[in-house]
């Protein structure tokens, strides 16, 4: 994090220095057009990475630009042009601040939905199709301590070697991912494995998503353990009911036969 902050600060310093040095050189040489455009770079950069502080910096830099022009020229036409340019700088700064704010707002809204979902949500990233991120429900489902442990584990460690149909999990998963990438989505049932080795049935929905021109897969996983348990219980009860019905039918059939035999004896 500190390295990133240092790189950003150095980059802003270099962009600002280039703009100022080029401005002084251009003003001294009498070139009053090209150098002005160099100020857009540090202004936009500052507003993207420093947000509100970037806007304040942009206002300061815009004023500094006007002071430089005023220092080298008293021509009213040049000064009025410089003043218009200052307003453009300020407009660009606030516009960039607004656009970045809206983008971050959407990202935060998506992140909130992602994290608050009761379903296990995870993102698979090509080309290895490992899990690059997962929400709290995913971490809980697979018994990972944190997102770092979850994403650093081999993607195939979350599935047994083979699926119930006998196919290798690795091969079948790649095939299903390819279908989702081609068709946009793919739903299926899957046997997953938690990090403690416990296997469990799950329903999976793979959805293709595009982020900044790059394609990913979002997986929605639901643990079907309780559902399967309930289904098995209902199946067992149904089988018990069937057995009871068969016993009752057999008993009724014997009663009818016995009644018929009694009637035949009475006739004799």
Quick check: is 167 in a domain?
yes
Give how many domains the chain has, as a whole number.
Answer: 2
Instruction: State whether 131 and 174 are in the same domain.
Output: yes
List the beta strands (DSSP E) in the chain: 120-125, 130-134, 185-193, 199-211, 214-223
Report yes or no: 27 and 69 within 8 Å, Cβ to Cβ: yes
Q: How confident is the model at residue 87 (pLDDT cuts 50, 70, 90)?
A: very high
- Residue 13 has a pLDDT of 92
- Residue 76 has a pLDDT of 86
What is the arrangement of strands in the sheet containing 120-125, beginning at the earlier edge strand?
130-134, 120-125, 214-223, 199-211, 185-193
Instruction: State whether 207 and 189 are in the same domain.
Output: yes
Domain end (from 77, 98, 114)? 114
- Residue 112 has a pLDDT of 66
Instruction: State whether 82 and 69 are in the same domain.
Output: yes
Average confidence (pLDDT) over 125-131: 83
Instruction: State whether 134 and 210 are in the same domain.
Output: yes
pLDDT digits (tens, 9 = 90+) for 2-27: 688 888 899 999 999 998 888 888 87
Instruction: State whether 10 and 110 are in the same domain.
Output: yes
Return the CATH number at 156. Answer: 3.30.450.20
Quick check: is 127 in a domain?
yes
Q: How confident is the model at residue 114 (pLDDT cuts 50, 70, 90)?
A: low
- Residue 209 has a pLDDT of 87
- Residue 110 has a pLDDT of 64
Q: How confident is the model at residue 38 (pLDDT cuts 50, 70, 90)?
A: confident
Check residues 154 and 200 and name the one with the higher pLDDT.
200
How many C-alpha atoms does 203 have within 13 Å on its Cβ side? 7
Average confidence (pLDDT) over 138-164: 87
Instruction: State whether 47 and 145 are in the same domain.
Output: no
Q: How confident is the model at residue 102 (pLDDT cuts 50, 70, 90)?
A: confident
Instruction: State whether 92 and 148 are in the same domain.
Output: no
Quick check: is 252 in a domain?
no
Report yes or no: 168 and 162 within 8 Å, Cβ to Cβ: yes
Instruction: State whether 145 and 74 are in the same domain.
Output: no
145's tokens: 């301590």
Nearest alpha carbon to residue 97 among 59, 144, 146: 59
The radius of gyration of the chain from alpha carbons, rounded to an integer in Å, stands at 35
Q: What is the rounded average pLDDT for all residues in the chain? A: 83
Domain end (from 99, 114, 129)? 114
Instruction: State whether 154 and 209 are in the same domain.
Output: yes
Average confidence (pLDDT) over 117-124: 85
- Residue 162 has a pLDDT of 93
Quick check: is 76 in a domain?
yes
Report yes or no: 188 and 202 within 8 Å, Cβ to Cβ: no
Instruction: State whether 48 and 85 are in the same domain.
Output: yes
Q: Output the pTM of the full model.
A: 0.54
Quick check: is 256 in a domain?
no
Average confidence (pLDDT) over 196-214: 88
Instruction: State whether 148 and 190 are in the same domain.
Output: yes
Q: How confident is the model at residue 248 (pLDDT cuts 50, 70, 90)?
A: low
- Residue 152 has a pLDDT of 82
| Segments forming the whole domain that contains residue 82 | 2-114
Report yes or no: 41 and 20 within 8 Å, Cβ to Cβ: no
Quick check: is 92 in a domain?
yes
Instruction: State whether 21 and 54 are in the same domain.
Output: yes
Q: How confident is the model at residue 264 (pLDDT cuts 50, 70, 90)?
A: low
Domain end (from 227, 244, 259)? 227
Quick check: is 264 in a domain?
no
Please tell me the distance from the alpha carbon of residue 149 to that of residue 129, in angstroms, as a whole number. Answer: 16
- Residue 208 has a pLDDT of 92
Average confidence (pLDDT) over 215-220: 90
Quick check: is 54 in a domain?
yes
- Residue 157 has a pLDDT of 83
């Amino acid at each position: 994090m500190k390295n990133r902050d240092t790189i950003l600060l150095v980059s802003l310093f270099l962009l600002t220095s280039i703009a100022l040095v080029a401005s002084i050189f251009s003003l001294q040489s009498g070139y009053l057009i090209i150098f002005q455009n160099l100020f857009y770079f540090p202004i936009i950069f500052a507003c993207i990475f420093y947000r509100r502080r970037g806007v304040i910096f942009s206002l300061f830099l815009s004023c500094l630009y006007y002071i430089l022009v005023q220092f080298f020229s008293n021509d009213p036409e040049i000064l009025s042009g410089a003043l218009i340019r200052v307003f453009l700088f300020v407009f660009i700064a606030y516009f960039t601040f607004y656009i970045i704010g809206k983008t971050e707002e959407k990202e935060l809204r998506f992140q909130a939905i992602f994290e608050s979902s009761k379903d296990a949500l995870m993102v698979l990233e090509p080309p290895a199709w490992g899990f690059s991120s997962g929400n709290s429900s995913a971490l809980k489902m697979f018994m990972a301590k944190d997102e770092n442990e979850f994403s650093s584990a081999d993607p195939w460690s979350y599935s047994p070697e083979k699926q119930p149909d006998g196919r290798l999990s690795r091969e079948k998963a790649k095939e299903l991912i390819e279908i989702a990438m081609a068709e946009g989505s793919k739903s299926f049932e899957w046997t997953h494995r938690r990090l403690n080795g416990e296997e469990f049935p799950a329903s999976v929905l793979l959805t293709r998503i595009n982020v900044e021109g790059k394609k990913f897969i979002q997986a929605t996983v639901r643990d079907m353990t309780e559902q399967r348990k309930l289904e098995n219980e209902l199946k067992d009860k149904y089988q018990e009911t069937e057995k009871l019905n068969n016993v009752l039918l057999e008993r009724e059939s014997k009663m009818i036969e016995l009644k018929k035999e009694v009637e035949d004896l009475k006739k004799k």
